[in-house]
């Protein structure tokens, strides 16, 4: 008869922490694996079953289960190792971390590991370890949505989201914008195709065959895109695009959502809109063009068409763009669903 299976009992806090460690992409792999060992143990799995699931030897699974039972969450971390004592004092470590958060005096924007190592007379590996322990990444830049200065932010945001969530009866909600300066780039040598062991390769030198501007309108509740390519993106092209959208959708009240680009607010555009009973123009709040859903489609378009493209003429570029949009509408178009479920963003 086999040994009875030891079931590890977890508190709610311990279970939540272990799940976070096991699933978070930024958790050290060894901590993630050890967390999975304990989670399986809490579900009544035997050591052999846990070993198969996580890929550790049975003895290693036993070790981490014992460590957890003795020291709980702290037991999953590596024990201090014997060896030469640290020669860098805590104050020196703090000094490295503090300086890494400041702008260098040499005119560059951020410190590198080598610069910090030279400044303090330390090894690059030592500085790298100090930065990792302090979770400091001078080389990395993230972006976030800053607070909009628009005094009507709440009203504009509510109006646009209201159109997304509950459009009026017999209404068509279109989000409109342009993607300008799409370059028809050609390469000076033929493209080397993708093959096993080698990515698709282009020469670093290129030729320009002109640029085009893509005007696009996304139908929010259907997902299809109406678009045209133009040579410029002034108010004249934007107004002509609005007129074409108006003519193509008779009998519907059209709600156009656009950002605050100058051509969208040109007095001739606003004057024409004011004389159309079936058309309402909504502007996103200042610095909040992310509310415009066509930006989501532009990201898909840029990934699928612009990235890595090679064209021998502007006409060839325009032809590919329009072919892509036609195929997208026929086979891929669908309403976008925003799935953010986190805390409300500060505004």
Confidence class for position 155, pLDDT limits 50, 70, 90: very high
Question: In 3D, which of 61, 69, 60 has the Cα closest to residue 9?
Answer: 69
| Whether the predicted pLDDT of 94 surpasses 50 | yes
pLDDT at site 193: 85
Higher pLDDT among residues 248 and 197, named by residue: 248
Confidence class for position 267, pLDDT limits 50, 70, 90: very high
| Whether the predicted pLDDT of 347 surpasses 50 | no
Rounded percentage of the chain residues whose pLDDT exceeds 70: 94
Taking residue 195's Cβ as centre, other Cβ atoms within 10 Å add up to: 9
| Whether the predicted pLDDT of 27 surpasses 80 | no
| Whether the predicted pLDDT of 276 surpasses 70 | yes
| Whether the predicted pLDDT of 194 surpasses 90 | no
| Whether the predicted pLDDT of 26 surpasses 80 | no
CA distance 240 to 227: 12
Tell me what the mean pLDDT of segment 136-151 comes to: 85
pLDDT at site 146: 77
CA distance 77 to 1: 34
Question: Is residue 243 within a helix (H) or strand (E), and if so which, with residue range?
Answer: helix 235-248
pLDDT at site 82: 67
| Whether the predicted pLDDT of 98 surpasses 90 | yes
**What tens digit of pLDDT does each residue of 114-132 get?**
999 999 988 899 999 999 9
Question: Is residue 157 within a helix (H) or strand (E), and if so which, with residue range?
Answer: helix 153-165
Tell me what the mean pLDDT of segment 81-93 comes to: 74
**What tens digit of pLDDT does each residue of 291-326 get?**
999 999 999 999 999 998 999 999 999 999 999 999
Higher pLDDT among residues 134 and 85, named by residue: 134
Question: In 3D, which of 95, 96, 34 has the Cα closest to residue 67?
Answer: 34
pLDDT at site 300: 96
| Whether the predicted pLDDT of 265 surpasses 50 | yes
| Whether the predicted pLDDT of 245 surpasses 70 | yes
pLDDT at site 73: 87
Tell me what the mean pLDDT of segment 172-183 comes to: 96
Burial class (CB in 10 A: 0-12, 13-18, 19+), 294: buried
**What tens digit of pLDDT does each residue of 8-20 get?**
888 888 888 888 8
CA distance 315 to 321: 10
Query: Over the chain, what is the mean pLDDT?
Result: 90
Tell me what the mean pLDDT of segment 260-281 comes to: 96
Q: How far is CA 333 from the centre of its chain?
A: 21
CA distance 59 to 62: 5
Tell me what the mean pLDDT of segment 66-76 comes to: 88
Measured CA to CA in angstroms, residue 252 lies from 150, 234, 245, 272 at distances of 30, 27, 11, 17
Taking residue 164's Cβ as centre, other Cβ atoms within 10 Å add up to: 17
pLDDT at site 268: 97
Give yes or no for a contact between 143 and 184, defined as CB atoms under 8 angstroms apart: no
pLDDT at site 29: 85
Pairing relationship of beta strands 225-230 and 206-219 according to DSSP bridges: antiparallel
| Whether the predicted pLDDT of 54 surpasses 50 | yes
| Whether the predicted pLDDT of 206 surpasses 70 | yes
pLDDT at site 6: 85
| Whether the predicted pLDDT of 343 surpasses 80 | no
């Amino acid at each position: 008869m086999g040994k009875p299976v030891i079931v590890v009992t977890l508190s709610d806090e311990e279970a939540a922490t272990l799940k976070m460690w096991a699933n978070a992409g930024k958790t050290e792999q060894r901590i993630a694996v050890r967390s999975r060992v304990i989670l399986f143990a809490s579900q009544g799995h035997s050591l052999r079953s846990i070993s198969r699931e996580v890929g550790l030897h049975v003895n290693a699974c036993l070790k981490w289960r014992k460590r957890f039972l003795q020291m709980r969450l702290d037991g999953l971390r590596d024990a201090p190792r014997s060896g030469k004592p640290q020669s860098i004092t805590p104050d020196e470590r703090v000094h490295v971390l503090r300086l890494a958060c400041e702008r260098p005096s040499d005119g560059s924007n951020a410190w590198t590991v080598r610069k910090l190592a030279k400044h303090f007379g330390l090894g690059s590996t030592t500085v790298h370890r100090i930065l990792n322990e302090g979770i400091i990444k001078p080389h990395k830049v993230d972006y976030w949505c800053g607070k909009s200065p628009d005094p009507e932010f709440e009203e504009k945001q509510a109006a646009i989201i209201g159109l997304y969530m509950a459009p009026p009866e017999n209404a068509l909600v279109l989000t409109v914008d342009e993607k300008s300066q799409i370059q028809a780039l050609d390469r000076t040598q033929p493209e080397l195709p993708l093959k096993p062991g080698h990515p698709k390769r282009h020469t670093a030198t290129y030729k320009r065959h002109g640029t085009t501007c893509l005007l696009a309108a996304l139908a929010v509740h259907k997902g299809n895109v109406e678009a045209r390519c133009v040579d410029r993106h002034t108010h004249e092209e934007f107004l002509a695009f609005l007129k074409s959208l108006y003519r193509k959708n008779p009998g519907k009240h059209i709600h156009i959502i656009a950002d605050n680009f100058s051509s969208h607010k040109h007095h001739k555009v606003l004057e024409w809109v004011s004389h159309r009973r079936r058309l309402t123009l909504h502007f996103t709040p200042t610095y909040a063009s992310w509310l415009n859903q066509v930006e989501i489609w532009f990201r898909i378009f840029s990934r699928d068409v612009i990235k890595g493209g090679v064209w021998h003429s502007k006409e060839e570029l325009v032809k590919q763009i329009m072919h892509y949009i036609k195929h997208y509408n026929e086979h891929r178009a669908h309403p976008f669903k925003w799935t953010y479920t986190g805390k409300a963003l500060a505004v």
